[in-house]
Structure 1
């Protein structure tokens, strides 16, 4: 039987990524092709996130794995390279990769046990430990934070679309911080999206990172996903931020600047989507860090 496209995944692509609808229509055929190419047997119902379809499978040697299928784009194109570079250290193992389609065969982790199941106060130590081991020198071929930050700053005029003057001032302060931080772009391999649902339990080690959107840059650009993963009071936010900066031995002003750059990035995306207000969590993070 062909692998069906989940309704929720189809709805996401129709609304947020219509340019990839041809890929989505071909997804059942792609799944069948990759199952045959790697001699895989389906071993349970498929799951999906925002973008990818993940199918639990068994390899010919009876090793459990997952087949991950997603359209190739700028954000995920470096995922196989990053996973190969990490070689299973703090991240899921890449078992095989089909370059033309971007399909990946990955080590199977325990999807029923994400880090988000733990209290955030406990999970932050896991995030800090994983980041400390993921932040190795980046290999060639990974998109750079310099290019990303430079492109963000060219879109600074979009901040005038924010209708609330206080929010607009806050967003401009984030742009100013980004402009100041760009002189220290860094060269570490960043995960970019290490929030609590992108960490799963594993039989070979307690926790492993999944689903990187790799960037070569400053480690502080990796803090935001674990800060805005759930609503935080300013006190809890600062505790989480301080834990990360201390564990990763980051200069606090630099860490603040690159975290504000992530607020700028998120705000620009919202403005492109037609929003005219600053997201409350982003506003809280920016205001708290700037007021310290």
Structure 2
């Protein structure tokens, strides 16, 4: 299948600190897609652009070109098997449905990094709504995802994921005082955590798309097991560029965080702590990748917390 990978994907996988093997996977992507499509007997309509930073999404048809679906192809380091397992556990409750729940569904299964999914409307996310309405819909969606993980699950924990991130943050890519505050906040949250729920892991307005079966459904989980405040922390800083550009950005950000915490019965102090950690982690990661403007915005936001 001949196509050009979306620029966002090519740019992200070409960054200096991209995962090992990212460039090789990107170079082979047309070949990988052609194989995945052929083995599933799919008809491709188009590539979704701008798409994501670590996967390719195509709109396809199954069953003799009759049934619309979406095909997501991701590299091994994006852990598509974990995403598949989380979507299968949610069974469409608050999230997009997966049409393949295990390696037996298609020859090759998880090994090809592909997920055949319910088709949503990729051009319509919660970011298309006014912010207050978007946050209300986001809260209703994320609430459905917070369930007990399956017995014997292999999902990563918040402690393990943030442990890797914390080690990377100590590389001198952010203000020392801010990094230290974020690391202390993480330690305090882990020491007092009392929830072990299945979380989306990367939840934000852009990860909630319009659908037919339900008005709004979450996509693109990076599943992790831990407390709800961690999952809500990424949503709390949505539209951060608008906040930074506003004269009242700091106070607006704090009010938004309180509203989110209250609406979902999450401890406000825990949400603030995890929001601080995740903002500083994202900021220092952006700095390492040379995305200086993004790093500056995120670290300024974190300084308000």
- Flag whether TM exceeds 0.5 (same fold): yes
Corresponding position of 1:69: 73
Matched, 1:111 2:122: yes
**Runs (5+) with no aligned partner, structure 2:** 103-108, 244-248
Match of 1:244 among 260, 270, 283: 260
- C-alpha deviation, 1:157, in angstroms: 3.9
Asked if structure 2 preserves the Cα contact closer than 8 Å seen for 1:92 and 1:107, the reply is yes
Partner of 1:228: 237
Matches within 5 A, 1:51-90: 51-60=54-63, 62-73=66-77, 76-90=80-94
1:149, 1:138 → 2: CA distance? 19
Residue 76 of structure 1: CA displacement?
4.6
Following the alignment from structure 2 to structure 1, what is the Cα–Cα distance between the partners of residues 43 and 142? 34
Q: CA deviation at 1:10?
A: 3.1
- Count of aligned pairs between the two proteins: 283
Q: Give matches, 1:1-292, under 5 Å.
A: 2-6=1-5, 8=7, 9-16=9-16, 17=18, 19-47=21-49, 48-60=51-63, 62-73=66-77, 76-96=80-100, 98-139=109-150, 140-155=153-168, 157-159=170-172, 161-162=173-174, 167-185=175-193, 186-230=195-239, 231=241, 232=243, 233-273=249-289, 279-289=295-305
1: CA distance between counterparts of 2:139 and 2:219?
Answer: 15
Deviation of the 1:20 alpha carbon: 1.7
Contact 1:75 1:214 in 2 (8 A): no
Looking at structure 1, the residues matched to 205 and 274 of structure 2 have their Cα atoms a distance apart, in angstroms, of 20
Q: 1:196/1:29 Cα in 2 relative to 1: closer, same or farther (>3 Å)?
A: same
Q: So what's the TM-score if we normalise by structure 1? A: 0.87
Q: Distance in 1 between matches of 2:142 and 2:125?
A: 16
Contact 2:236-2:275 within 8 A present in 1 as well: no
The structure-2 alpha-carbon separation of the partners of 1:45 and 1:277, relative to structure 1 and needing over 3 Å to count, comes to closer
Q: Which runs of 5+ in 1 are unaligned?
A: none
TM-score by length of 2: 0.84
1:263, CA displacement in angstroms?
Answer: 2.4
The SS at the match of 1:193 is coil
CA deviations over 1:226-252 (Å, ceiling 9, x no partner): 233323112221232122211221112
Does the CA contact (< 8 Å) of 2:98 and 2:117 recur in 1? Answer: yes
CA offsets, 1:30-51, max 9 Å, x none?
A: 2222222222111234433212
Q: String of CA shifts for 1:184-205, please: whole Å, max 9, x gaps.
A: 4431111122222211101111
Shift of 1:64: 0.5
Deviation, 1:106, is: 0.4
State whether residues 283 and 296 of structure 2, in contact with CA within 8 Å, keep that contact through their aligned partners in structure 1: no
Instruction: State how far apart, in whole Å, the 2-side matches of 1:219 and 1:104 are.
Output: 26
Give 1:150 deviation, angstroms. 3.0
**Are the aligned partners of 1:194 and 1:226 in contact in 2 as well (CA < 8 Å)?**
yes
CA RMSD of the aligned region, Å? 2.4
> Residue 200 and residue 235 in structure 1: after superposition, are their counterparts in 2 closer, same or farther (change >3 A)?
same
